[in-house]
Amino acid sequence: MLRMRNPIQHYAWGSREVLARIQGRPVPSPEPEAELWVGAHPSAPSVVHLDGRERPLDELLAEEPGRFLRDAAAGDGLPCLMKILAIDAPLSIQVHPSPEQAAEGFAREERAGIPLGDPRRNYKDRSAKPETVVALTDLELLTGVQPAGRLDAVAQRLRLGWLREALAAGGPVLPAVLGLPDDDAAAAVEATVAAARAAGAEDPVARLIRYVADRHPGDRGLLVAVCMHHLRLAPGQSVHTPAGQLHAYLSGAAVEVMSSSDNVLRAGLTGKHVDVPEVLRVLSEEQPPPEVLDPPAAADGSRRYPLWDERLALVAHEAAPGRTVPFEVRGTAMLLAATGRVRVRAAGRTWELGGGDSLLHTGGPTAVELSGDGRLFTVLCG
């Protein structure tokens, strides 16, 4: 077991309260804090305490892969990245490529000579980016695209001419919406916001429109948001976002596990590059709402969340005063205290973890005892 220190990403949609409260720091924080990263992504790797020194985890993996990785010979690095998300405004509407699309897109942009740091670059690496999220608080998100019948009801109720016209074309609605000329899109956004402000306070789509418009005024991504499924997760519930699925988080806090990739194609609610033809190329034809998982607790109180690879898993343990929770961890694993304060005892040592603190485990099976008062997430990486 090695202690890790984890970086925070300061994106504009982040909260000034959530991560500060989790870590016991003054509230509000000086700037928005959107994501706490636990892993070896080169953009913001965790720092590992090893032999009296602090070392970035990506450097350790490059220097001693056999010590830390399940299959060092494969050369793929750590297979996942874990985050705490603190969402105070809608994230960009986005989609991630499949492994084949990522490899082809990366090679295409390399041949075109687009630098990795160029804002027009879509593919930063050759990897897919499947994601699984577990709600820590009530969590709102957009995902997939509603069927035509439901969209027609929205168009009629709010008198959205642009949506009626997109549906009347008879094909998939997203290409029609994303393909609107800029002037037409701006007029559609203005009319949609006006309709939402005139609608009843309880109309769910009108509430969504007002929420998004207040945080991304004038962004044509609002039209895409109207077309999407709107989900609410209770704490402990989870959804998986596969390749090709349109999605955006709206509000709340969550633990997210994804492959260690930075391939994001955006469709709106962002000031960053939006490549509509590439978004449409990557989108899956079917855009249903995902299955909401709410796994039952095992005898020890743990809840297990499947990930995109059967060799990976995410396990949540609850520690409560007056009881000790035993479990086993093996191989490469990352243990993250997401809330409260917990004690992890293993191999004769004890680690005190506050919110946002984490440990890296390597090697064979290790018996662990968890105590304290908080929630510990363990991602088993192999």
Count of CB atoms situated within 10 Å of the CB of 70 = 17
Structure tokens at 331: 């191989």
Q: Is the dihedral of CA 242, 294, 296, 345 positive or negative?
A: positive
The sign of the dihedral angle between the CA atoms of 367, 302, 377, 260 is positive
What would the two tokens of residue 111 be? 């041949």
Distance CA 39, CA 195 (A): 44
Q: Which of 315, 287, 320 is nearest to 378 (CA)?
A: 315
Would you say 247 is a known binding-site residue? yes
Strand partners, 360: 2, 334
Q: Annotate 44-72 with three-state secondary structure.
A: CCCEEEECCEEEEHHHHHHHCHHHHCCCH
- Choose, from 121, 266, 343, 375, the residue flagged as catalytic: 266
Cα diameter, the chain: 68
Is 266 assigned a catalytic role? yes
User: How many other C-beta atoms can be found within 10 angstroms of the C-beta atom of residue 320?
Assistant: 13
Give the DSSP letter of residue 371: E
**Six-digit token pair at 4?**
């890790």
Count other Cβ atoms within 10 Å, centred on residue 168: 10
d(CA 274, CA 266): 5
131 is in an annotated binding site: yes
Tell me the C-alpha distance between 60 and 50, whole Å.
10
Find out whether the peptide bond into 28 is cis, omega within 30 degrees of 0: yes
Terminal Cα distance for the chain, rounded: 15
Q: Give 350's strand partners.
A: 345
> Do the annotations mark residue 94 as ligand-binding?
yes
Structure tokens at 195: 């309709």
HSE, side-chain direction, 13 A CA sphere, residue 324: 8
As annotated, the active-site residues are 266
Can you say which residues are annotated as belonging to the binding site for Zn(2+)? 94, 96, 131, 247
